[in-house]
Structure 1
Amino acid sequence: MSADTTVPKQGHRLVLVTGPSGAGRSTAINVLEDIGYEVIDNLPLSILPRLLEGPVLDRPLALGLDVRNRDFGVTRLITLIDGLRGDTEHPAEVLYLDCDADVLVRRYSETRRRHPLAPAESAAEGVMRERDLLVPIRSRADILIDTSRMTPHQLRAEIERWFAEGHDADMAISLQSFSYKRGVPHGVDMVMDVRFLANPYWEESLRGLNGQSEEVQEYVRKDPRYDAFFAKTLDLILMLLPAYRDEGKKHLAIAFGCTGGQHRSVTLVELFAKALADHGWPVSIRHREMERRQGDNKLGNSV
């Protein structure tokens, strides 16, 4: 691998690859290199401005960033990500490789490696320390891949699906649910506000459930405005997808928001994902607030 101080031309992908140690970042970097990316791993963040001022490169660039970087800092990385989002010359996206804490601990136990944030302590302490540290970075992910139940082969296929130039004629679609209380997700292309639909939260029997349950989905679908909204929105998305693909877009992120990010938005993501998959589009799902709650519960259980 050559650390040539070059950057992609306008319109070429600049991918920042990060995530907790042991989640598959190195595998992702290797796959990106195999499919034609210029890859620079563990680049000190202080050098990045000079890298971006260098001569252009005629292929996409991937940067591997994690806590092992010499001058890694969450605030510094957040500033970098937020700054690049508005840079038309170097449009960047964040690929975040995540993994359940217990799986990370098991991986460290199997390899007998020391965790970089706990060299003299248990791997479990390092894992929890790093996951907590990276929360604000994770929330800025454009593409989030959970490797907890993935083999290296499956991870390779997933990376290729998202990033391989010319790998597939079809564009990959990411559907995300979120709560407006926590703000609109970073890096999404389209946002749908579904707070006008009937809210299952006010039904006591449904309050503790989420939009992945049939009961909640049935409740939302009974709203008299649901059928027209779903049909017209699906028609709009299906009309736009080929146009975006023909313009060279490799993935499209669509977010559905409601008040709490648990019932209506989750329902719409689940149902739209099925509809788009039935039309032959590759779709991934992310439920931001449910992920937050699961992370908080795991952190609380470990204390």
Structure 2
Amino acid sequence: MTESLPEFPNDVADGDVVDPDELATDLVVVTGLSGGGRSTVARALENVGFYVVDNLPQALMLDMAQLAFQAGGAARRTAMVLDVRSRAFSTDLAGAVRALKERGFSPRVVFVDADDEVLIRRFESVRRSHPLQGDGRLADGIAAERKLLEEAREQADVIIDTSHLNVNQLRRRVEELFGGEDVRRLRITVLSFGFKYGLPPDADYVLDARFLPNPFWVPELRDHTGLEEAVSKYVLDQEGADRFVSTYAGLVASTAPGFEREGKRYLTVAVGCTGGKHRSVAIAEELTAQLRDMRLAAHASHRDLGRE
């Protein structure tokens, strides 16, 4: 038996006002000029946890908001992207937003804009015509769209002029507005592995701990793992181990801000030894601890532990 979705409050009639606290749904409506950066805004909203519906017909905005409320969970943060490619697009975006507010929702409208000259260069660079251009020039299509979206721009809560923003700068701007600090932080996975099982394909850094003596050859340690204190102490007490960990902790910490600026949200630091049981596990745990001491969001994972 499948679990049914909770019903939209049945004591609310069409047009009645609902307490926004009862509808704890975070709605963002994204519109603006073609070529202005709507797709980049949509991807940035996805990065910060929004469920994004692209090219949504304007007539379905209220239905989509109600579905988001009913679904709960991640759908409670929903972004609806509207543009003139939708056959149902009309100029009354303000009316559609007003209808949402009358049902208790609090949508935030984001309008992306750019100078005409910039929009023309962007369309020419990808060799695409404007959706409203018809048989005319690019400038004619842009002018027609500006006229169509004039009221929507006036009613917007946030206007983002992308004329002088690159993709990364626009993404950061959206994350600053809607993400919160925790969402924008780089998340680091320190992954131990065994070289004999192959390199992790998603590794950004690969560290080789095989220069350290192998606890496998110590009878009393062979059957234990790097998660246990005796093995960990044996590994970390070896000459060069402490400097190895601290050097790479410093490297990761120094590059983390750059990765964040470039939009990378997940970084994998792979630490390998022969079988992924002793040295790599102990090193990964210690490296994770040092990264956390540096206020980085790091956690350890052990891919091959238990395979031997």
Question: What TM-score, normalized to structure 2?
Answer: 0.49
